[in-house]
Structure 1
């Protein structure tokens, strides 16, 4: 019974981590609904994001990520670690 409970708990935790990672969408990060994600907005989702990494993702060099740039950046992120 104890092993069953531990297994169920592990599945629940890994599902929660996956759901949290999946919740990061362009709309959820674009807090001011400007149609672009600023460095400050992106750092709320990814606190370790540096100016250099943001600038590399901002291929149009306009200071914000549009939907395509955001999607391209998210595609470079590692998959969430299994719990």
Structure 2
């Protein structure tokens, strides 16, 4: 039992360490600290971002996204929330 507990604590510790290393701010993702995010920098945290989406968001054509340009990209890329929640399903009739 002690081995299971120690193993579980070890696995949880590793997953916490990996999560703590995930960049979460603009500055964390801006690896070269130039004040803009390149496509490759963004794709480290936003893996499904396409070059076309990136280019459309790059309003000044600098090859990188400023914080303002990044903010304009995000709402267009996130699916809209449904306007009304779906009605709950009717309970199934008991089997006879």
Which fold has the larger relative contact order, with Cα–Cα distance below 8 Å and residues 6 or more apart in sequence?
A: 1
> Normalized against structure 1, the TM-score is what?
0.55
Structure with greater Cα Rg: 2
Aligned to 1:8: 9
In structure 2, C-alpha distance between the alignment counterparts of 1:34 and 1:20, rounded to whole Å: 21
Question: Which blocks of at least 5 consecutive residues in structure 1 are unaligned?
Answer: 77-83
TM-score by length of 2: 0.50
Inter-CA distance 39–9: structure 2 relative to 1 (3 Å threshold)? same
Q: CA deviation at 1:13?
A: 1.8
Match of 2:59 in 1: 61
Shift of 1:53: 4.0
Q: What's 1:80 paired with?
A: none
Residues 33 and 47 from structure 1, CA distance in 2 versus in 1: closer, same or farther, beyond 3 angstroms?
same
Matched residue, 1:25 = 25
What is the number of residues matched between the two proteins?
A: 69
Q: Which residue of 2 aligns with 1:79?
A: none
